Amino acid sequence: MLDAALTRPEEIQKKSGYHHGNLRSAIFDAVAQLIGERKSLAFHLKDVAALVGTSQPAIYKHFENKQSLLVETAVAGYGIQKKFRDYALDISGPSPLQQLLAVGYAYVHFSRTYPGYFLLMKNLETDEILSSPQYQRQRDETLHLVRSLIAECMETGLFHKTDLNLVMTSLQSTALGLANMYLLNQLEVVARDLHKDKHLVSRIFKVSIESFLTPEGKRHIRNAGANPFEDTD
């Protein structure tokens, strides 16, 4: 079962002491919490220090400046996102179509569970974040996985042969758009009769992917397992 720490966001707690390594993690979580609340990077390191319950000089012992802290927070966010993805892939069916859906479900659930990390990684990337070699590797790893699954869907006759980049863009638009609608509380405005539907994410993904499916692909998607995060959304 997915680690309980990944199924819901945790409020940052002020502490008088930390075990080795915990302070850095608490700082990352505080940054993500501030971004989630403010929907921007408009905060100072003193705000982070106050939220964690440490001093601003203590933060400077770990991070050179705010930009370096944002880079490492984004890297940490990708690590959390990967845990969601790995969990979904581990329990998904073996077909590349089922695995592709699992990656999409994990993406949206991560955005809803850790909105601050998600916003930093997807909407508020700084030049420093984008130029980080580690961040680039993490992003490229994710994109390569999705591209490989799409290519395998075509090779195994689940998708029609078409432009892989077109499929990639369509699915990414669906995932990012749905995630942002949840983050900005727009679903209730757009679809009042659907926003509480716990199956909405899987329903939207299946509608989005339908135009690419062959008859065999449609059979596979009918037999695809449920979104593993539906009970926690």
| 114 in Cβ contact with 74 (< 8 Å) | no
Mean pLDDT of the chain: 88
Q: What is the length of the chain?
A: 233
**Percent composition of the chain: helix, strand, coil (DSSP 3-state, to 5):** 65, 0, 30
Task: Please report, rounded to a whole number, the percentage of residues in the chain having pLDDT higher than 90.
Answer: 68
Average pLDDT over residues 88-98: 92
pLDDT for 139-197, tens place per residue? 999 999 999 999 999 999 999 999 999 999 999 999 999 999 988 888 778 877 777 77
Q: Which domains does the chain have, with CATH numbers?
A: 15-63 (1.10.10.60), 74-233 (1.10.357.10)
In this prediction, residue 4 has a pLDDT band, given cuts at 50, 70 and 90, of: very low
Distance of alpha carbon 128 from alpha carbon 43, whole angstroms: 17
The answer to whether residues 109 and 84 touch, using CB atoms and an 8 Å cutoff, is yes
Phi-psi region of 175 (alpha: psi -120 to 50; beta: other; left: phi over 0): alpha
Averaged over 207-229, what is the pLDDT? 89
This prediction's pTM: 0.88
